[in-house]
Amino acid sequence: MPPVALTIDGTDRTCKGVIAKLETGLHDLPVGSLFMAIVGDVPTRVDVRAWADRRGHRVLEDRTRDRGGGFELLLAKGPSMDHGEIGS
């Protein structure tokens, strides 16, 4: 498995905040790059998964964190990424 190219710690962010950071961070990464989102609660986890689905990214792993609570989602950047604004 290739290395994780981007990790966003969104444990102190809103759903929109995490997704905005992911959108920005993914912009220059090639298709297939692995990235990780760390989120603090279930609704943010759900929204990140829904966002990934809409943008064509694949969720490879979704696991509960051993420490600190929350979840770690490992994803692969999809081929047809739409950079539409979030919350517009």
Partner 1 sequence: MRLEPAQLLEGEGGQERGTMMLMVSVQDLKEARESVAGGADIVDVKNLQEALVGSNFPPVVREVRRAFPKRIHVSVTLGVAPNQPGTVAMAVYGAAALEATSVKVGFVQTHYATALDILKESRRALEGSQTKLIAATFADAPLFPGGIDPKLVVRLGKESRSDGILIDTLTKDGRNLFDFLDEATLRSLVTEGKEAGMSTALSGHLRIPNLNALVRINPDIVGVRGAVCANGDREKGAVAASAVARLRTELDARLTGRVDVYSEPGPPDVLVA
Residues at the site binding partner 1, with contacts judged by CB under 8 A = 14-16, 40-44, 46-47, 50-51, 53-54, 62, 64, 69, 71, 86-88
Q: How far is the CB of 67 from partner 1 (least distance, A)?
A: 14
The smaller minimum CB distance to partner 1, of residues 32 and 43, is found at 43
Q: How far is the CB of 24 from partner 1 (least distance, A)?
A: 16
Q: What is d(CA 47, CA 18) in angstroms, rounded to the nearest whole number? A: 9
The smaller minimum CB distance to partner 1, of residues 32 and 54, is found at 54
On the 0-12 / 13-18 / 19+ scale of CB atoms within 10 A, 26 is: buried
The smaller minimum CB distance to partner 1, of residues 4 and 50, is found at 50
* Residue 68 backbone zone (phi > 0: left; psi -120 to 50: alpha; other: beta): left
Residue 84 has which token pair?
Answer: 């539409």
